[in-house]
Amino acid sequence: MINFFRGLLVVVCCLAGMAVADEKNILVTSGSDRATPIAVVPFGWQGGTVLPDDMAEIIGNDLRNSGYYAPIPKQNMISQPTQASEVIFRDWKALGAQYVMVGNIVPAGGRLQVQYALFNVATEQPVLTGSVSGTAEQLRDMAHYISDQSFEKLTGIKGAFSTRLLYVTAERSSATNTRYTLQRSDYDGARAVTLLQSREPILSPRFAPDGKRIAYVSFEQKRPRIFVQNIDTGRREQITNFEGLNGAPAWSPDGSKLAFVLSKDGNAEIYVMDLASRGLTRVTNNPAIDTEPFWGKDGNTIYFTSDRGGKPQIYKTTVGGGNAERVTFIGNYNASPKLSADEKTLVMIHRQDGFTNFRVAAQDLQRGTVKILTDTNLDESATVAPNGTMVIYATRQQGRGVLMLVSINGRVRLPLPTAQGEVREPSWSPYLN
């Protein structure tokens, strides 16, 4: 599926049938320096059965995905200690590891008790020790928890490995029969569950800030309408029923409002609805197409995509409207704005001047520099981890729509394991604990 803005140009036409770059702006195409070597040793297991998940592998993958750490392959490990007293630091110094983690899993009254320790190899001192317990079905949860604790201790940045991901799949069984499903999974694509099935397209799923509700666009009435659904109960409510386009919902930081795009007055404009009163405020008023709103954390600023300058670029304005300020200047196409948690980085879909490829890029909002994060060609729908360290986006690989993960520093690029069919429209959850 093509990017929403590119698709919107077509949709608006169908419905109708019914600045100069600053000198400081620089394009950066190379990656960052080397990630820190870390060893996550296979955890010891005192039970008699085989565990359903490898905790050390999950933790190693988490730390790798952040772009900060490079796990040492298990086959290269000289020794495999499972507790602190067994760690021989010279083994890890010989491998160039800067950190080493060991752990041990013990059955305890129908549950599993996990002890873990993280060491600085150079100082031979513990960085973090702890324990966590749960059932065998919660091994992945416990592994992500340990990853979160370790990442925050090492970097000072809260870990985002216990978060969730929304995405849409499309499986075509015949020329006239396609099944669309809205899925929720771990951030890395594991343990996917279906939240909604439809014979009509589902677009733009978004988590509410409380992580308990989602908003999305459904065509089940043969035209686009916005719904809000409770994740736990499945209860859903239709929020919009305007003529024309109803699309691109975006939650306000406090979860009390939704920004979205309507064409009820003939042109695609951004509106904000107070969910309690259903009061509607028009934000933009321009002959151009204004779409893809994204809230600033102050709850008053809205970033959006517009072609008011002739080509799609990213602008920002206030909820009350008024003059919009252009934010992007590098490239002939910038769309789908997403901000990092600290609001220092703007992630977007970008096309360089003279090129036809759409790629994910990150703009430093203080320096104005733009870094290309991906090496794929038809990228869309980028979504940012709540701690700003990773981006997941939709693209095409071997003729199929897939999801890819890239670290914000550009060191890691890898596909996510997802269901069969076309996969698209990813959206990252907020912190859930």
**Percent of the chain scoring above 70 in pLDDT:** 92
Q: d(Cα 271, Cα 283) in Å, to the nearest integer? A: 5
Helices (H), 261-386: none
Dist CA 145 CA 397 (whole Å): 31
What is the model's pLDDT at position 398? Answer: 83
Residue identified by tokens 């996990």 is 114
Backbone phi and psi for residue 331, each to the nearest 5 degrees, phi listed first = 95, 160
- CA–CA gap between residue 25 and residue 366 (Å, rounded): 10
Nearest CA to 96 among 55, 54, 35? 35
Is 18's pLDDT higher than 60? Answer: no
- pTM equals 0.90
pLDDT of residue 427: 97
More confident residue, 121 or 12: 121
The structure tokens listed for 148 are: 């979160």
Report the chain's mean pLDDT, rounded to a whole number.
Answer: 91
Give the containing element (helix H, strand E) for 118: strand 111-120
Residue-wise pLDDT tens digits, 230-279: 999 999 999 999 999 999 999 999 999 999 999 998 899 999 999 999 99
User: Which of 4-8, 204-208, 264-268 tops mean pLDDT?
Assistant: 204-208
Structure-model confidence comparison of residues 252 and 34, the more confident one: 252
Residue 62 CB contacts under 8 Å (≥ 6 apart), including other chains? 143, 144, 147, 151, 159, 161, 188
Give the pLDDT mean for 365-382.
92
Contact between 413 and 374 (Cβ < 8 Å): yes
Whether the predicted pLDDT of 3 surpasses 50: no
pLDDT bucket at 23, cuts 50 / 70 / 90? very low
Q: Is 137 helix (H, G, I), strand (E, B) or coil?
A: helix
Average pLDDT (371-381) is 92
Would you kindly state where each structural domain of the chain is located, as residue ranges?
A: 4-29+163-428, 36-155
Predicted local confidence at residue 9, as pLDDT: 45
- Taking residues 85-113, what's their average pLDDT? 95
pLDDT at position 22 is 38
Is it the case that residue 283 has pLDDT exceeding 70?
A: yes
CATH 2.120.10.30 fits 4-29+163-428, yes or no: yes
Q: How far apart are CA 337 and CA 328, in angstroms?
A: 10
Treating both helix axes as pointing N-terminal to C-terminal, what angle do 55-65 and 139-155 enclose, rounded to 10 degrees?
40
- Only one residue has tokens 């499972």, namely 82
Given a cut of 60, is residue 10 above it in pLDDT? no
**94 band by pLDDT with thresholds 50, 70 and 90:** very high
pLDDT tens digits for range 322-352: 889 999 999 999 999 999 988 999 999 999 9
pLDDT tens by residue, 109-154: 889 999 999 999 999 999 999 999 999 999 999 999 999 999 999 9
Q: Tokens 């076309």: give the residue.
A: 422
Give the CATH class of 36-155. alpha beta
Q: Cα separations (Å) of 261 from 226, 242, 289, 425?
A: 10, 11, 10, 17
* pLDDT, mean of residues 103-110: 92
pLDDT band at 20 (very low <50, low <70, confident <90, very high): very low
Query: Two tokens at 218?
Result: 């459904």
In the structure encoding, which two tokens stand for residue 11, read together?
A: 């949709």
Taking the CB of residue 414, how many other CB atoms lie within 10 A of it?
13
Residue pLDDT, tens place only, 61-78: 999 999 999 999 999 999
Distances (CA, A) of 128 to 141, 201, 212, 323: 19, 47, 31, 50
